[in-house]
Structure 1
Amino acid sequence: MSSSLTPQTPAPERRLPGGPVLQDSVTAAISAAFFEELASVGYARLSLEAVAKRAGAGKAAIYRRWPSKLEMTVALVCAVAVDGPELADSGSLRGDVLALLTESAAALRHRLPSKIIPDLLAEATRNPELAQALFGAVRDTRRAKATSMLERAVARGELPEDVDRELALDFLAGPLYWRLAVVHTPTGPDYLDRLADKLLAAFAA
């Protein structure tokens, strides 16, 4: 997760067919409560009753917006992880890679995504329905945006036409996630710069 993974829950005002306008303030409160509850208990133990209680709203207010826990999760996670501007075009591949790493590091260090992201990935291995929904909506969309970044670099002559795009996408995501979300190893102030340089060298190899 702009494409940042940090929860900043949007809530456009909308009207149900034949029903009242859904209030922005209530949607925002429910959304914020959802992320807090998800970070606290994980997807498997998440209940809509607990989200409603934390939000100070009725359970019916949730069902007027999302028909199930799965659809609520996918909609809100997509809203912060996918629905936003394209990755910044800095004019150079290194600048684009560094911007992507900086955004990703900020999300992985944030108190909510740092708990939510590993939990959802683990739950997806046990829940095929969640995996299909999240991977299709979040993973594939974000990889498509990162692919656009690589294509710009090819067009500028910074990468060869035959660059292994799939492997490059794995490199972009893997090392930083391993360091910050799996082994929780502190990083120095120049870590992202050094990682960006290593990634560029790997892309060109």
Structure 2
Amino acid sequence: MLGPMTVRETGDETPRPRRRAPAGAAVLREDKTEAIRAAVFGELAAVGYARMSIEGIARRAGVGKTAVYRRWRSKLHLVLDLVSALAVQGLPTPGTGTLEGDLRLLYEVTARALRHPVASQILPDLLAEAARNPDIAQALQKALRDAQHSVASGVVRAARERGELSAEFDEDLALDLISGPLYWRAVVMRGPQPRDYLPALARATAAALKAL
């Protein structure tokens, strides 16, 4: 009897030890992790960051509090992890063949995401918390600004290669022009968008970029 030793069935009679998990190691089930992530978005939308608790998250996810604390030290770390993850999801890079067309597609995709019921409730609350918490502010900047600018940079680069934009202009200003108006209207002002708003915004932004 070999106990923890096994014999391979390949003709190699040399006993080899079974691989065991390190003592005390916890295996984190991915289904529980995803349930907790979904519960965080649900709690943020329902009660906001200030009133959100680990107890509420665990109850909504159908897990114990220990399952949450195994993965994140606090609700702050949990929210920062989720918000930061948004930055790597990215947006599809438009490829319509024109600057105005690329901008319009970018705006349509972004506006659709910002209109999502959960996003429309969570973002204003997190922006308010960001004014009081520099860690949340930094995570939001990465998720909202850096990810959007990554796609916008691709739009600008493609327009330059087609000769629609000058090779020498202020790229930071250009990226602010692309991203700023839609976020201002959808996230800060939270006002309704006229039916022709996105096409008009794409035309105006393209004209402004060409004038730089």
TM-score, scaled to structure 2: 0.79
- Structure 1 position 107 matched with structure 2 position 113: yes
Work out the CA distance in 2 between the residues paired with 1:119 and 1:156: 41
Query: Could you say if the C-alpha distance between residues 197 and 49 of structure 1 is closer, same or farther in structure 2, counting changes exceeding 3 Å?
Result: same
**Greater RCO structure (CA 8 Å; 6+ sep):** 1
Per-residue deviation, residues 49-70 of structure 1 (Å, max 9, x unmatched): 2111111111111122222322
Query: Could you say if the C-alpha distance between residues 61 and 201 of structure 1 is closer, same or farther in structure 2, counting changes exceeding 3 Å?
Result: same
- Code of the residue aligned with 1:135 in structure 2: it is Q
Contact 2:91 2:148 in 1 (8 A): no
Which residue matches 2:4? none
Query: Could you say if the C-alpha distance between residues 171 and 131 of structure 1 is closer, same or farther in structure 2, counting changes exceeding 3 Å?
Result: same
Contact 1:124 1:130 in 2 (8 A): yes
- Structure 1 position 67 matched with structure 2 position 73: yes
- Structure 1 position 27 matched with structure 2 position 58: no
Query: Could you say if the C-alpha distance between residues 135 and 186 of structure 1 is closer, same or farther in structure 2, counting changes exceeding 3 Å?
Result: closer
- Code of the residue aligned with 1:95 in structure 2: it is G
Give the alignment's Cα RMSD to 1 decimal. 2.4
- Structure 1 position 170 matched with structure 2 position 157: no
Contact 1:86 1:145 in 2 (8 A): yes
Q: Structure 2: 5+ residue runs without aligned partners?
A: 1-20
Aligned residues: 191
Contact 1:52 1:62 in 2 (8 A): yes
Which residue matches 1:203? 209
Per-residue deviation, residues 18-56 of structure 1 (Å, max 9, x unmatched): 634322221221111100111222222222221111111
Which residue matches 1:189? 195
Q: What is the percent sequence identity of the aligned residues?
A: 50
Q: Structure 1: 5+ residue runs without aligned partners?
A: 1-14
Q: Higher Cα Rg: structure 1 or 2?
A: 2
TM-score, scaled to structure 1: 0.81
- Structure 1 position 117 matched with structure 2 position 117: no
